[in-house]
Amino acid sequence: MLRVDGVGVSFGDRRVFADLSLTVGPGQRIGLLGENGAGKSTLLAVLAGELEPDTGRVERPAATALLRQEVRADPDAPLAAILEAELGAIRALEAELLAAGEALASGDPAAADRYAELLEAADAAELWTLDAWRDELLDGLGIGHLSLDRRVGEVSGGQRSRVALAALLLARPEALLLDEPTNHLDDAAVAFLAERLRAWRGPVLFASHDRAFLDEVATGLVDIDPAASHGVTRYGGGYSDYLAAKAAERARWEARFAEEAREEGRLERAVAVTAHELAPGRGPRDNDKMSYDFKAGTHQRQVARRIRNAEVRLDELRASRVGEPPPLLSFAGIPSGSHPLEGDEPLVTVEGARVAGRLTVGDLRLAPDARLLVTGPNGAGKSTLLGVLAGRIAPDAGRVRRRKGLRLAVLDQDVRWADAARTPRELYERAVGERRAQELPLGALGLLPERDLDRPVGRLSIGQQRRTALALIVARPPHVFLLDEPTNHLSLALASELEDALGGYPGAVVVASHDRWLRRRWDGPELALAAT
């Protein structure tokens, strides 16, 4: 099995995680979740033996293989070299078997037992069907057409990743570690991989942002959480089960926060009302003074004791109170555009637009409340269409009309900043204005933690930079919101929040995505583009 016990890793003064413990047994397929930078890739490298942890203990089978996000290979080597790099043990067995066969043929009496032993190992490794199995894997992953004699540097990064994945599956290690295995895979290849992993007998640990894949493959999910007692929180089942568990967790959190807020208010009122009883009042008559002093003193001591008890309970409650649940992303109550556009006239009209070699699209009209999902394989022109709608790309043929006063905004796949030294708070205030920033503070949007608001945006992770870009749009929603692969580089939780929030967006929404989870749950119109 795969196991880490009390593992900690730091890079310089940045602690990735500490005291992390996790076990993955045979037949278990555990999906790794966590915010960007939580340490998913680091944990896989530790389990693979590529990174020595600062503390803790690591156990893994002798044959443990890691699929990295980026393939490390000599660009001048043939693609076959990627396959052969994972087949060292099998090739060594093949060579031993050949040598033992030659010894047996030469009449060596001691060779028979060794040959029988190696023959049994070859049968177990399915050595005889290795080439057929290789071809099946390459075909299933959509690269069967590639010549293995081609240089690594001549093919795309996605094709190299598919060859590397085929190599790992071909080698049949005891344990599999996979870092974003569905990157660069189309739907058919993802289905093929899911089927193979569901049949895998050894432990499998994989990091993935593919929610549909997590739902189809995982027997359990692990959320890397620095606040957890062992660095992780474990959930049973797939992604749908995880969402249900997280929703229940938040409901309990909200209920506890509300109950503790009510209790705090009750205790504060009890202290104030009881203290009022100690306030000086009308004095006694002269002939009742001795009796009054005795009774008043007893009463005041009782009241003072009640105040102290209430104050102690109030202090204990304040010390142990849970924090307020962070707000969920929402567009509710936020007006669209700087000036509303009245009437039902389409916001954008496209008539037979064509961008040579990149896009061909017929007539398209976006109503003020439009919801449109744009799908299609890589190269079909999804991003190009968004560029045409936004006015960034002028079509070679056709016509695009936009209503006067229309405001559009694009959430790009790759965010670039004119001044990467500015902080998210500064960028936000410049974009929306000081008054708007006070009315709707950046931290209230639920997109960025407080610790990142005043860090230079160029030093944030790709995911945090994309959150910042989203915040600038959320604060002043345009009439037309264009999103290019919106779930890329976002945590799974935020991706789900964004999808839910788009349903209440106060304008038109166009989403270009290959995300299967999003596509399966989209209930509006869809424009499927074909590869050009």
Domain boundaries, the chain: 1-62+174-237, 250-320, 348-528
Is the pLDDT confidence value at 422 over 80? yes
Provide the whole-model pTM.
0.80
342 exposure class (CB count in 10 Å sphere: 0-12, 13-18, 19+): exposed
Mean pLDDT of 191-198: 96
- What pLDDT, on the 0 to 100 scale, is given for residue 279? 58
Q: Provide the pLDDT for residue 341.
A: 72
**What does 113-139 look like in DSSP terms, one character per residue?**
HHHHHHHHHHHHTTGGGHHHHHHHHHH
CATH classification code of 348-528: 3.40.50.300
Q: Which DSSP helix (H) or strand (E) runs through 531?
A: none
* pLDDT for residue 111: 77
Q: Exposure pattern of 392-430 as b/e (b: 16+ CB <10 Å)?
A: ebebeebebebbeebbbbbbbbebeeeeeebbbbbbbbe
Which of 86-100, 307-321, 333-347 is least confident? 333-347
The reported pLDDT for the residue numbered 188 is: 92
Supply the pLDDT for residue 290: 53
Structure-token pair, residue 139: 């075909």
* Residue corresponding to tokens 């069967």: 144
pLDDT at residue 221 in the model: 96
Please identify which residue in the block is written with the tokens 């052969």. Answer: 84
* Beta strand ranges found along 81-228 (DSSP E): 175-179, 204-207, 220-224
Lowest mean pLDDT among 23-27, 120-124, 279-283, 463-467: 279-283
Fold equal for 1-62+174-237 and 348-528: yes
Phi, psi at 341, each rounded to 5°: -105, 120
pLDDT band at 242 (very low <50, low <70, confident <90, very high): very high
Predicted confidence at residue 291, as pLDDT, reads 52
CATH class of 1-62+174-237: alpha beta
The number of residues in the chain equals 532
Q: What is the mean pLDDT of the chain?
A: 86
Looking at residue 366, what is its pLDDT? Answer: 95
Highest mean pLDDT (candidates 28-37, 236-245, 470-479): 236-245
- Percent helix, strand, coil in the chain, to 5, is 45, 20, 35
Q: For the residues 442-450, what does the mean pLDDT come to?
A: 81
Query: Which residues fall within 8 angstroms of residue 22, CB to CB, at 6 or more apart?
Result: 2, 3, 4, 30, 43, 222, 230, 231, 232, 234
Position 66 pLDDT exceeds 60: yes
In this structure, which amino acid lies at residue 291? S
pLDDT higher than threshold 90 for residue 244:
yes
Amino acid at 423: T
State the Cα–Cα distance between residues 15 and 7, nearest whole angstrom: 12
Name, of 132-136, 488-492, 500-504, 525-529, the range with top average pLDDT: 525-529
More confident residue, 488 or 424: 424
pLDDT of res. 52:
94
**Do 518 and 488 meet the contact criterion of CB atoms below 8 Å apart?**
no
